[in-house]
Structure 1
Amino acid sequence: MSRKKPSIKEVAALAGVSIATVSNVFSGRKPVNDELKESVHKAARELGYQLDRAASQLRSGRTRIIAVLVPDLTDTFFATIVSRLETAASAEGYDVIVASSHNDRAIEASRLKALLSWRPEGLIAVPCSSTIPAELKEARKTLPMVLVDRVATKNAIADTVTIDNFEAGEIAARHLLERGHRNIAIGVSSLDHPPIAERTEGAASVIEARTGQRPTILKLGSDIAAGTRTLLDWMERNPLPEAIIALTNVTTLSVLSALAEHRIDIPGRASVVAFDDYAWMSARNTGLTAIRQPVDQIAETAWKRLRDRIEGGGKIPVSPTVLNASLIVRASVRDLTGSAEADEDLPPPAKVTVDGSETNKKIH
């Protein structure tokens, strides 16, 4: 004979709290202090109690589910955002379901349909291209949503959370120009993505204004191995630039792999500015100077914006949130100036980090 499933009443009795407190712990409808939360979860574990989501949804009319769609879960940037969103949502009684579009628009449409079938209370999405999927356009009429990263902020269909990508590109280029570099190449994934196009134009415009020439744009794609092959083929036919700016974490790995294949010393023969900032970048023999996106702040802002929209309904106007990237200075950029002084023509100071310590320094 199968054992009768434990009830919420039994959990409350074992934890020494009211049924309402148990309900609030699992639903997140009202705040419960950490001590009582732990008592309830401990009692639930001992009894083998599991919340009946279907029954709860029928009673409350709410799923307490948030859907998250990203282009690629193997990309550290997107995986970190998902992890931060899960933590924030869980703290407020929401479960998170996640899907990846694998950077494919057909798969993206299929994944969106699957996510929406769960009837989530909100959606956070990173589109895989500059084209907003029809499923999102339709869903936004009734579903609170926030779009992150690969979106244009102008005329957006929903709240957006992005960084100032044009400025991020400028910062990378100015740092290289300040160190005396003039022959600079830019490694991009796809110019079809608004953020990448903006980063590219930010860097290219500063370089062209200073040198009189547009920099070489290397289209490396979103696959590390394919990007490495593309760059190796290009290097066979072209002289090595003084420096390469890699505008995503994936293109950074493609650039490093190609340079390693030819045993090209960084920064002795080529300087590199990476994008995003992860532990492995400082753990190398030569730490990578990098443009750091505020990934924690991106996830936190996206969650708060979605939560406010869920609670506030359609009363909140659609608005963009634009955050700022920062420069982390390490050892991958060679100083070609022969002088510690910065060029007088180049624009004003900005905040940077040198080996983990923030300082005021000219970023040009």
Structure 2
Amino acid sequence: MKVKRLTNEVKRFAKRGAVSRITIKDVAAQAGVSIATVSNAFSGRKSVSPDIIQRVEEAARALGYQKNIAASQLRSGRVRVVGVLVPSLADTFFASLVSHLEELAEADGFQVLVATSRDDARHERAQLDALLGWKPSGLIAVPCTNQIPENLRREFPGLPMVLVDRIGEDDLPVDTVTVDNHTAGREAAEHVLDLGHRDILIAASVAALRPIAERIRGISGACHHHAGQPPRIIELGPEVETGAARLEAWLARNSHPTAVIAMTNVTTLAVLTAFAQRGIDIPGAVSLVGFDDYAWMTARKVPLSAVRQPIRDIAAAAWTRLMERMDGSEEAPARIVLEAPLQRRDSVGAVPA
């Protein structure tokens, strides 16, 4: 098809302005094929020759046609869209989780709508209302508190859903996927305790959140058993800059610990930032164990010891369970708990003399 002809068609439709949207009928006329052929070319449901597909795609691009996905899915009887709610995409853990879920969804023919709560309950309600307005086939959610949001509770059990990471303290019989946070915390503590550390600081984001609280409980139990004294705890919040500032202020007022165990990748970065600002050497002055193991942690001059959350496996478990629910499974709710092993590297050393 010649570009000149397409250009003329674009001009013709441009003159129509906002009078009407370009439809599949317009694309069919432009490509010189039937409406059914265009529909099959877009959906891939029936075999269409490559040259016809090319003609249809060229016509659609030239006319500025946008496929009405919602309408086509409603006609098919199933909306192949799932919602994903996470606290933040600035947090590498949640961004990676979303990325893996998108890959899995795409492989199964689903699209993903993502919303963030900003760790704010009011914003979470608004974002959930927006997601639910799309009538998704299912939902994977990381709530911003230990409770399932009320507007999500109202959708159960009609809407298939899986909770991830922050699995809450709720009696709603919903599928959950998390890691063994208690064991992860205990093993991180035992690692620094074995090297003689007794003055241990826990750098938490929000200590009351269940996964953080479970990690703290594991660390505290190990400290009590091996050292007979509890760790110190500081809350740094969910942002790196704010957390670093809080830790700097804390360090200015308190004696330095010999070891720090950070509860998230964000708090790990906050600790590193604060230590860099104050010239604190790792592990010469203070040992550090991070949480969430990423490539940058091994790329540092002193590679960081860190607890590795299996994000790909978490996403796969959540997606598999959601697919089973969307396919009508009525099995008892699954409580999937994955291991989060400690990666021992060079950021933990013996207690300074």
Give yes or no for TM over 0.5: yes
**Matching of residue 143 in structure 1 with residue 154 in structure 2:** no
Look up the match of 2:346: 331
Task: Measure how far apart 1:233 and its partner are.
Answer: 1.6
Amino acid paired to 1:86? E
Aligned position for 2:313: 297
Match of 1:53 in 2: 69
How far off its partner does 1:277 sit?
1.0
Between 1:325-334 and 1:115-124, the stretch displaced more is 325-334
**SS of residue matched to 2:283:** coil
Gaps of 5+ in 1: 27-31, 339-364
Determine helix, strand or coil for the equivalent of 1:139: coil
Q: Structure 1 residue aligned with 2:304, among 288, 298, 320? A: 288
For 2:349, give the aligned amino acid: R
1:211-290 map, 5 Å: 211-290=227-306
Query: Could you tell me how far 1:229 is from its partner in structure 2?
Result: 1.7
Runs (5+) with no aligned partner, structure 2 = 1-11, 15-21
The structure that has the greater radius of gyration is 2
TM-score by length of 1: 0.82
Say whether 1:72 aligns with 2:83.
no
Looking at structure 1, the residues matched to 176 and 92 of structure 2 have their Cα atoms a distance apart, in angstroms, of 21
Partner SS for 1:232: helix
RMSD (Å) for aligned C-alpha atoms: 3.0
The answer to whether residue 130 in structure 2 is matched with residue 114 in structure 1 is yes
**Percent identity between the two aligned chains:** 45
Q: Does the C-alpha gap of structure 1 residues 326 and 23 become closer, same or farther in structure 2, counting only changes over 3 Å?
A: same
Give the direction of change, closer, same or farther, for the CA distance of 1:122–1:44 in structure 2 (3 Å limit).
Answer: farther
* Separation of aligned partners in 2, 1:337 and 1:264: 12
Match of 1:2 in 2: 13
Which residue of 1 is the match for residue 105 of structure 2?
Answer: 89
Q: CA deviation at 1:55?
A: 2.9
The amino acid across from 2:205 in the alignment is S
Alignment of 1:95-134 (within 5 A): 95-134=111-150
* 1:160 Cα offset (Å): 0.5
What whole-Å deviation, never above 9, does each CA across 1:319-356 have from its counterpart, x for those lacking one?
21111101112210113499xxxxxxxxxxxxxxxxxx
One-letter amino acid of the structure 2 residue matched with residue 93 of structure 1: G
Task: Please say if residues 44 and 50 of structure 1, whose CA atoms lie closer than 8 Å, have aligned partners that are also in contact.
Answer: no
Determine which of 165, 177, 183 is the counterpart of 1:167: 183
Alignment length (residue pairs): 328
What is the one-letter code of the residue matched to 2:204? V
- C-alpha change, 1:96 and 1:175, in structure 2 (3 Å) is same
1:318 equivalent among 316, 319, 333: 333
**Cα pair 2:284 2:352 within 8 Å, conserved:** no
Matching residue's letter, 2:114: V
Would the alpha carbon gap of residues 269 and 156 (structure 1) be closer, same or farther in structure 2, given more than 3 Å must change?
farther
Query: Aligned AA for 1:234?
Result: W
SS in 2 for 1:160: strand
**Secondary structure at 1:2's aligned position in 2?**
helix
Question: What is aligned with 1:187?
Answer: 203
Contact conserved, 1:67 with 1:124, CA < 8 A, in 2? yes
In structure 2, distance between residues paired with 1:241 and 1:235: 9
Return closer, same or farther for 1:23/1:203 CA change in 2, 3 Å cut-off: same
1:210 aligns with 2:226: yes
Q: C-alpha deviations, 1:68-106, integer Å up to 9, x for none?
A: 111111111001111111111111111111111111000
Q: Structure 1 residues 5, 154: closer, same or farther in 2, change over 3 A?
A: closer
Give the TM-score, by structure 2 length: 0.84
2:317 & 2:294 partners in 1: Cα distance? 21
Deviation at 1:155, TM superposition (A): 3.3
The alpha-carbon deviation at position 113 of structure 1 amounts to 0.4
Instruction: Using the TM superposition, give the Cα deviation of residue 38 of structure 1 relative to its aligned residue in structure 2, in angstroms.
Output: 9.4
Distance (Å, rounded) in 1 between the aligned partners of 2:132 and 2:167? 20
